[in-house]
Structure 1
Amino acid sequence: MPYMMMTLDGIETLARDCLIGAGASETAAASVARSTRMAERDGVRSHGLMYVPIYAEHVQCGKVNGNATPLVEQPKPGAVRVDAGSGFAHPAIDAGFDAFAGAARDNGIGVMTVFNSYNCGVLGHHAERIAEAGLLGLCFTNAPASIAPIGGSKPVIGTNPFALGVPGGDGPVFVIDQSASAIAKSEIMLRNREGEAIEPGWALDAEGNETLDAAEALKGSMVPSGGAKGFGAGLMVEIFAACLSGAVLGKDASPFSGTVGGPPNTGQCFIAVEPDALSGGGFGERVSALAAAITDQDGARLPGSRRVGARAKTAGEIAVDGGLIERIRAFV
């Protein structure tokens, strides 16, 4: 089916209407639609409109409670805890964000955990939001198990990304966003949907052999980035996002894809630091010097710069697969 041109406003409206049509509340739908818009804006197609029909299907089958009301509590001055109620992560994060950022400013550091949650979209966008508030943000989210330990064959942790948002005088200086796997699982899902081969070093099949077949990869295990180091990073994320938040471990969570199982009830953890309180006011100068040491080199770039660069290209209209638009509109 031919591609159709859509504006970012149109993409956000389509995503919101689809989720409301599937049975989600206006608040939840609007929050997830904003996330969809940002993913498409940054060229992260695997977390954009492609995921919207999956979200809608999960609302309808009960894997996500589209009408959940997040419950926010603050058990300690620097600690905010949010029960997402088996609903979308996005509105739960929104519900606790002001208290979380305020805790960081009041105490020098603040931590927010979210449990009984779901896929939170592009984790780097949440780190960027913290940095836009003038705070140093470190974020973690766990996912259903898809990576086996080195030497093992049974997946124990998910792709488990972490993200760091670094603030500056004129907004975020840079954002690091990387997963424990060599590639995001959603990218393999995208390749499988479009019938394309995956790249070497991305995944193993169910027998533990390297595969370039996306369908076989989804039956097997993701390859950790950097081998044992990648698995260790993913294990660290599991500690913060699942153990510290009280969420379901990735090994026990239902998949983010398909309709099998109930709500995955995974979790997130966000840490915000007021930089001047701990640096004596020298944070900004040192970050600027560090960033310049990278950008002053020909061919070198700051983490996240490709996403920022994509924003200029998507300021007008974006080409969207017509078949995908039809699948989304079927829920409206």
Structure 2
Amino acid sequence: MPILTLDAARELAAAAFVRCGAAPAAAESTARALVEAEADGLTGHGLVRVPAYAAQVRAGKVRGDAAVTVGHPRPGLVAIDAAHGFAYPALDAAVAALPAVARSQGIAAAGIRRSHHCGAAGRPVERLAAEGLVAILFANTPAAMAPWGGARAVFGTNPLAFACPLPGRAPIVADLALSKVARGNIVAARRRGEPLPEGWALDAQGHPTTDPEAALKGTMLPLGDAKGTALALMVELLAAGLTGGRFAAEASSFLDAEGDPPGTGQLIVAIDAAALSPDAPERFAELAGLIEAQAGARLPGARRLALRAAAARDGIAVADALAAEIAAL
């Protein structure tokens, strides 16, 4: 199993995307996001996505030459059209635009439409928190969960992520899918030929399954049962209904090259951390200290920071078959 530096992994993925028809800037943005996820231990959102993404560019399901456009329909709003390209250039545009608007207005929101898979949702909000903003991201995804008591998938796994700045140190970052596990974990298990733990998914007939292939054809179980599907509804309305994106049940899969572009949406809300209370960042730090003072407790995102540091120092291991597949694209 080869060990790649983060730069080498980015170059491997970006070159594959360019060969498949992506514009260099989009390829670089997407490769960077996937390698960052890999470094943080979120392998389901990492390099394993390259072959599927590349196939979608070749098929035109992802537009490799998409031009992201940014508008300002109201003083506190940023409207971004991903133009059926990768989500990552559109997310980069949101992260670039939001700080100035949030500092001017106190609060700002960026809506992204005609988008695609946003990967590790914690990364964009972490970048905003590094700018002194409290940030929340909502993203809808293709249908994977049924409403509580129902049998047909109408919600995606619909991740949401939150980041909060802490003075003099890395932000607090919480990133979670509203299914019991992220769908990327199912994809990764299928690739490895491993069964799933019980309680993750149902097959197409609504029966519990540990078979990744059957799970991908069926539905995911929600986090927190009925409460999870209520939150998934909220994300669906914010990320797609509000932005002009497609609802989960209207979107094609992120996992294959079949059909038209998914056209999903993302919404990012950013708040100047000191706008309402100048000492808010210090208060954030007080609460963080109360958590970290307890033996065995840690802040959300702390494990990722340790993995990230190790990856920057030691590189990342990439399975031989995956590295060869990416190189051959």
Coarse TM-score class (shorter-chain normalised): over 0.9
Indicate conservation of the 8 Å contact 1:165/1:172, yes or no: no
2: distance between equivalents of 1:248 and 1:19? 25
How far did 1:171 drift?
4.3
Note the 1:281-300 alignment, pairs <5 A: 281-300=278-297
Aligned to 2:304: 307
Aligned to 2:274: 276
Which of 5, 8, 26 is residue 7 of structure 1 equivalent to?
Answer: 5
- AA matched with 2:305: V
Indicate conservation of the 8 Å contact 2:142/2:155, yes or no: yes
1: distance between equivalents of 2:31 and 2:235? 26
1: distance between equivalents of 2:69 and 2:53? 21
Indicate conservation of the 8 Å contact 1:134/1:171, yes or no: no
Note the 1:184-223 alignment, pairs <5 A: 184-223=182-221
TM value normalised by structure 1: 0.97
- AA matched with 1:198: L
TM value normalised by structure 2: 0.98
Any idea what SS the aligned residue of 1:278 has?
A: coil
- AA matched with 1:250: A
- AA matched with 2:210: L
- AA matched with 1:153: A
Which of 140, 164, 167 is residue 142 of structure 1 equivalent to?
Answer: 140
1: distance between equivalents of 2:28 and 2:169? 24
The gaps in structure 2 that reach 5 residues or longer are none
Any idea what SS the aligned residue of 1:294 has?
A: helix
Question: Runs of 4+ in structure 1 displaced over 6 angstroms?
Answer: none
Aligned to 2:225: 227
Indicate conservation of the 8 Å contact 2:95/2:124, yes or no: no
The gaps in structure 1 that reach 5 residues or longer are none
Indicate conservation of the 8 Å contact 2:167/2:282, yes or no: no
Q: Per-residue displacement from partner, 1:131-160 (whole Å, max 9, x unpaired)?
A: 011100010110001000111000011000
Any idea what SS the aligned residue of 1:301 has?
A: coil
Aligned to 2:64: 66
2: distance between equivalents of 1:45 and 1:101? 29
- Does residue 183 (structure 1) correspond to residue 171 (structure 2)? The answer is no
Question: How large is the RMSD of aligned CA atoms in angstroms?
Answer: 1.0
Indicate conservation of the 8 Å contact 2:166/2:282, yes or no: no
How far did 1:95 drift?
2.5
Indicate conservation of the 8 Å contact 1:131/1:171, yes or no: no
2: distance between equivalents of 1:43 and 1:171? 21
Q: How many residue pairs are counted as aligned between the two chains?
A: 328
Indicate conservation of the 8 Å contact 2:52/2:257, yes or no: no
Any idea what SS the aligned residue of 2:147 has?
A: coil
Indicate conservation of the 8 Å contact 1:166/1:174, yes or no: yes
How far did 1:282 drift?
2.1
Higher mean C-alpha displacement, 104-113 vs 88-97: 88-97
Any idea what SS the aligned residue of 2:73 has?
A: strand
Distance 1:167 1:311, change over 3 A: same
- AA matched with 1:316: D
Note the 1:81-160 alignment, pairs <5 A: 81-160=79-158
Any idea what SS the aligned residue of 2:64 has?
A: coil
1: distance between equivalents of 2:255 and 2:123? 22
Indicate conservation of the 8 Å contact 1:166/1:172, yes or no: no
2: distance between equivalents of 1:41 and 1:259? 26
Indicate conservation of the 8 Å contact 2:113/2:265, yes or no: yes
2: distance between equivalents of 1:172 and 1:267? 28
Distance 1:109 1:171, change over 3 A: farther
Aligned to 1:265: 263
Any idea what SS the aligned residue of 1:156 has?
A: coil
Aligned to 2:47: 49
How far did 1:234 drift?
1.1
Any idea what SS the aligned residue of 1:158 has?
A: coil
- AA matched with 2:292: T
Aligned to 2:24: 26
How far did 1:173 drift?
2.8
2: distance between equivalents of 1:29 and 1:13? 10
2: distance between equivalents of 1:247 and 1:254? 12
Which of 313, 323, 329 is residue 321 of structure 2 equivalent to?
Answer: 323
Aligned to 1:248: 246
1: distance between equivalents of 2:322 and 2:88? 23
